[in-house]
Structure formats: C-alpha cells, structure tokens
Chains A and B, each alone.
Chain A
C-alpha cells in the first residue's frame, strides 16, 4: 500500500507541477456511472467492484467475483438558466442527453484482472432562444466527451490492489449563434477530435476484509487519480465573427481529478463516502485559431479562468430481504464552484455550489444484478455587474444575471457476473 501510495503521489506531483505550461480551457460536468453508484451520490472510489471500476477506480477490477459484463443506460434532462446576452435572462430549451456505459472485466488468476469500458465522461451545453440586442436569437453550444478505456489491476498483497487505465478520449462540439434577421450565423463551429494520451490510476485497500459473518465490520479505502487530457478539436467550414471559415482548430481540456473514498459495512447497512479535488484551475484560457475562407488567419480568444474545487459524495445502502438481495440507496453530493464569477458560462455549470440528491434500488438474483437510480442536480447564483467588472473579452461567456442549473438524472444498469470464474 505504501508503495502504491508513493507511486500515485509521485505521479500527482509530476502532473501538478509539470513543465507543460499550456493553458487551455474546457468543460467538466461530472457524470455519474453507474445506476448503482448514482443511488449513493456517485460514491464508489473505495469499494467499486464491477466493470465501472474502469471509470471510478481501476484497482476495483480485482474485487469482482468473476468475469462480468455491465450495460448502463441513462438519460439526463438538464435545464440551465442564465444570461447569454446583455440584459437578457433566458432558460434553455428542453433537451435530453443520453448517458450510459458498456463495460466488462476478466480476472486472470487470483491476482490480476483486466477490464474495458466505454462511456461519456463529461458534457456541457444548452440551447437558447432569446431576445437579445440582435433581436430574436438562437444561441447554442454543446460539447460531449466520450472515453474508451482499457484497464488492468493487480492484487499486491495485504488487501491492497492497484490499477491503471489508459484512456482514449473523443470529443464533439458545436457552437452556433444566429439572429433571426441575420444572413448567416455570427459564429458556427462544428468540430471533432480525439486524444489517446490519458491515464487513470488508483488503489484500494481492504482495511477490514468482510468476513463470512456479515455482522462484523468491513472497511475498505480507495484513492484514484485521473490525469488531465487535452483534446485537439478541429472542423471544416462554418463561420466566426461573421466571416466564412475554411477551417478552425482549438482544444478542450478535461482537468485532473484526485479522489479518496471509503466504505464501511456493518450488518445490513453500508456507508460510503468519496471526497477529492478537481483541478479545474487548469482551465484558464485558450484560443480558437481560425483560417478564413480568403486565407487570412485570425484568433478568437476565450477565457475560462476556472479554479480548483472540492467535491464530496456520499450515501447509505440498506440491504433487505432474507438473502439481502434487495438494496435501498440514498445519497447526495456537493461540488464546490469551479466556474469563475467573472467569466460565467451560459452553457455549463453555474459559478456556484452544486448539489446532487439521489436515490436508488438494486436487486441481485443469481449472477444477475439490476440497479436503478435517480438524481436531481441543482445550484445557482446571481452574477452582478461588479462580478464581471474588468473582465477580458470572451467569446463564449455570459453576462450579469441569474445562473442556475437543474437536472434530472435517471439510470438503469444490468450486469452479469460469472462467479467462480478463473
């Protein structure tokens, strides 16, 4: 465990004080996987033992009782209220965003396990119709990042497992704003990109291993670190600053995250808690490089000026019925604000504390496990003229007004575990 902690610490230090001075920006709205973990506020780092370990903490791959497959399907219905134009308070149009995961794992002997999963990792966006200074205007932004990640984990003894995942991250983004009476959009960018340079590492420690007698205490701890990923994005055509484009290039950043988790079980009750830091301060500022149709080059500045933030997720699980086959879950989460009050965005989380209240239910029957979860995300604040005073020009930022997010999350996952496998 000491060695694993040193490895993680050394890597984290390298990342946090690394020589790469690149300043980039992006989005990072936390998505919860799977339905089982959604029910307990998303807490999973200390105990995850299914294929979603690839996402939460790859060390958890060794905890599965055998080869497993998991399919999660979910949907989000976010509603964002903001000020996308001066003196304009608007609520985003209704939209549904799919979420989910497909994952699997295979133990190799008693000590090693391999896993792979594909899932969205972050998303942001909104579509408005408002009456801003340009008259009736359609203003839209959407960004989605999806990852495919193979991972491996090994038991190193004394109840400790360590794991590492390699992440291939793909991104698509679209930004468009056009007034009803305009000949063409002032900005219309549609781009895609892929990065294959991400890693995620983690460790788990069964401090008090669950004995055959479930009336005794069981405690497990975990730590995980996700390295930041910069995804280069480019697109052909479109418009910017009212001029037709030949192409554009930019990049988005998925910031680093460091999280710790714990789970305590006693009799029929399990309590789980995650806490950590999102290094959103890596989202500082960035540039969209434009090549106009006539060959001229231009650059569009964009400012994020996000800051590092803390998060806490926790929940309670109660196992009922004689065989403990039915699990009832309740949980919650809190994310400290990372978005700058000076540079608020109409298309992402508000510059405010964001809460998440969740609940769920799970059923185990033989090798099958089915879980359902629901979450309600909420948070908001008012941005004043004083908040944005002195701000630099920013193409994607909002204006003084009320910023608020409300999102419903629903998820269902089904998994099959071949217990007693190799």
Chain B
C-alpha cells in the first residue's frame, strides 16, 4: 500500500544541491511561471498515461510545466524544499497524501486523483504544483502497473523492478526522472 515513487533522495539531493545549483538563477523565473500554469490541465498527463507517451505529455506545452523543459522540480524553490526533507519524510508525505484517496475510492485511475494528490503534496512539502504533479502522476503510473506487486512490500526487489519497467511494463521511474528533471538513477 505504500506509495514510494521517489528515487533515492540522497541522490536527488545531490542533484538539487550540486549540479542543479548552477541552474538556479536561470530557472528562477521559470519556476514562478510554472506554479501559475502547471495546474491548468491536471488530467493531461493521466489521460495519455496508457498511451505510453506520458513523459512527453507532462513536459509538453500545456502539460505539467510548459516553461521548465529541463524538468518540473529544478527551480530554486523546489530545490530548496526538496533539500529540506529527508527521503523518508518525502515518502511519508506522499503516502499521507495518496493513502486517504485510495481508501476513499478517489485513488489512482479516478478523475480527481492527480489534482488532489499533487495539491496535497505541494502543500505538505512546499514544492511547486508542477513538481508535485510529477510525483502524483508517477504514483498513478506505478500504482496502475505495480500496485499489487508493491503493496505487500514496497522495499521488495520485485517492486523496484516493476516500477522500472521490468517485464515490458511502463518505466515509471524513468518517466518520473524525465518529468522532474532529476535523474535519480533508481533503475540503474
């Protein structure tokens, strides 16, 4: 039942604090714009998920973040917010946002899931909504394809493999990396 889509935050933080630091100034303006435009089409990413064009969709104009083509989570505010939380804290926040939706019948695959989950995550971790949406869409991606595999034990190797597209499924982890702009390398 655990929704754990964030790759190693240690790696993520290294990107946020290291390689991405140089891009902070460049993306500063973009992030603010992304916050304003990111939630205009909350269902866009989900609608195309089944067509395996999810990554393109969330990065396309009108998708998750029209202005941050390098990724939705590379802005200075997101970098700062992500650096401020630990791996487990982020996982807990995501789980806290997703679990009640799943239990109430408003989980992945329903009309309001991405919007509700990303709004909750953006609020609790204080990241931009486009960045939060990457994680919400990713949660929907792996829940759809790997939910049954991952529920008993999110830490299991079988779960990680499933999320990485083993067996011909969608590589949710790679899609998340592409969306956030933070290559975490979870799938090796």
Contact = CB atoms under 8 A, between A and B. Distances in A.
A186 B96 contact: no
A328 to B, nearest CB: 48
A177 B105 contact: yes
Interface string B131-152: 0000000000000000110011
Contacts of B147: 241, 298
Contacts of B92: 388-391
A260 B160 CA distance: 52
Interface in A256-309: 287, 292, 296-301
Contact of A241 (B88, B107, B112, B116): B107
Interface string A20-40: 000000000000000000000
Contacts of A242: 102, 105, 107-110
B169 interface: no
Contacts of B22: none
A183 interface: yes
Contact of B106 (A179, A287, A392): A179
Interface residues of B, number: 30
Contact of B105 (A85, A183, A393): A183
Contacts of B109: 242
A181 B120 contact: no
Contacts of A389: 88-89, 92
Interface in B73-130: 88-89, 92, 95-97, 99-110, 112, 116-117, 120, 124
Contacts of A132: 100, 104
Interface in A133-183: 133-135, 137, 139, 177-179, 181-183
Interface string A365-380: 0000000000000000
Contact of B110 (A137, A183, A298): A183
Given A242-B105, A389-B92, 20 more contacts: A133-B100, A133-B116, A133-B120, A134-B104, A134-B106, A181-B106, A184-B105, A185-B105, A186-B102, A241-B151, A242-B110, A298-B151, A301-B152, A388-B92, A389-B88, A390-B92, A393-B2, A393-B99, A393-B154, A395-B99
29 contacts: A86-B120, A132-B100, A133-B116, A134-B112, A137-B100, A137-B104, A139-B103, A178-B104, A182-B110, A184-B105, A185-B105, A186-B102, A186-B105, A241-B1, A241-B151, A242-B102, A242-B105, A242-B109, A297-B148, A298-B148, A300-B1, A301-B152, A389-B89, A389-B92, A392-B2, A393-B99, A394-B1, A395-B99, A399-B96
Contacts of A296: 148
Interface of A: 85-86, 132-135, 137, 139, 177-179, 181-187, 239, 241-242, 287, 292, 296-301, 388-395, 399
Given A85-B100, A390-B88, A135 B152 contact: no
A137 B112 CA distance: 14
B72 to A, nearest CB: 21
Given A181-B112, A287-B152, A133 B105 contact: no
Contacts of A139: 103-104
A309 B96 CA distance: 29
Given A134-B116, A242-B110, A186 B104 contact: yes
Contacts, number: 101
A299 B100 CA distance: 17
Contacts of A299: 151-152
Nearest to A287: B152
B126 to A, nearest CB: 14
B151 A300 contact: yes
Contacts of A85: 100, 104
Contact of A86 (B1, B88, B97, B110): B97
Contacts of B95: 393
Contacts of A388: 92
A136 B181 CA distance: 35
Identify the 4 closest CB pairs spanning chains A and B, nearest first.
A182-B105, A393-B2, A134-B104, A134-B106
Nearest to B3: A393
Interface in B51-67: none
Contacts of B110: 182-183, 242
B116 A187 contact: no
A391 B89 CA distance: 10
Nearest to B149: A298
A182 B111 CA distance: 9
B118 to A, nearest CB: 11
Nearest to B116: A133
Contacts of B108: 242
A141 to B, nearest CB: 11
B156 to A, nearest CB: 11
B1 A301 contact: yes
